[in-house]
A and B are shown apart, each in its own frame.
Chain A
């Protein structure tokens, strides 16, 4: 186990709704990255948080937003859900932001938008 936990494991929403996904990072890790993985694709970077500040963002619209708390846990919020938002959302924690810092993934939240 990586020590990275995500909740909920599964979620079903309808178009237009809002969703909040949560991630607890591995003990001692100060960096959390969020990825979206659609069926048959590799994970796509959404954004990264380092010590409560956004530290980079991928090609996702503003309705994808995030937050990191003082204990380094994190939330991903998605507003105005669209059908194409259906995917596995992965959180990864690391000690630092450099690429030499291995990212450890949680089991993910599988979101279905109907």
Chain B
């Protein structure tokens, strides 16, 4: 079983749509969680950290459910520029970042 699992997609959505990505992690000792965004043939860039209380940054909302070992990312009012691969990441103490395979999003005009 992969440590971090994501639905690979692709998710093809129209502009303005709301889209949600889910991610599960297997290591119950994981303490820190992140969503990274990766454009085609580019490096991953931090989108946001994920906290137990949930956090919001503009159109993006991240949630963490420790009991279910589940992380989500919600994107509201999708823009064409949101098209990318979204990587779910878990980490624990001094262990390295563990990435999921990524979920590909295409926002269509």
Contacts and interface: CB of A to CB of B under 8 A. Distances in A.
A100 B102 CA distance: 21
A42 B87 contact: yes
B81 interface: no
B31 A105 contact: no
A99 B91 contact: yes
A111 interface: no
Interface stretch (A13-21, A43-51, A61-69, A77-85): A43-51
Nearest to B92: A99
Contact of B97 (A41, A45, A110): A45
A102 B42 contact: no
Nearest to A40: B101
Interface residues of A, number: 28
B54 interface: no
A43 B44 contact: yes
Contacts of A55: 94
A43 B99 contact: yes
A60 to B, nearest CB: 12
A56 interface: yes
Nearest to B44: A105
Contact of B102 (A33, A42, A48, A102): A42
A110 B43 CA distance: 11
A81 to B, nearest CB: 21
Contacts of A103: 46, 97
B51 to A, nearest CB: 12
A46 B96 CA distance: 9
B46 A102 contact: yes
Closest 4 CB pairs of A and B: A42-B99, A99-B91, A45-B96, A99-B32
Interface of B: 4, 31-32, 41-46, 49, 87, 91-102
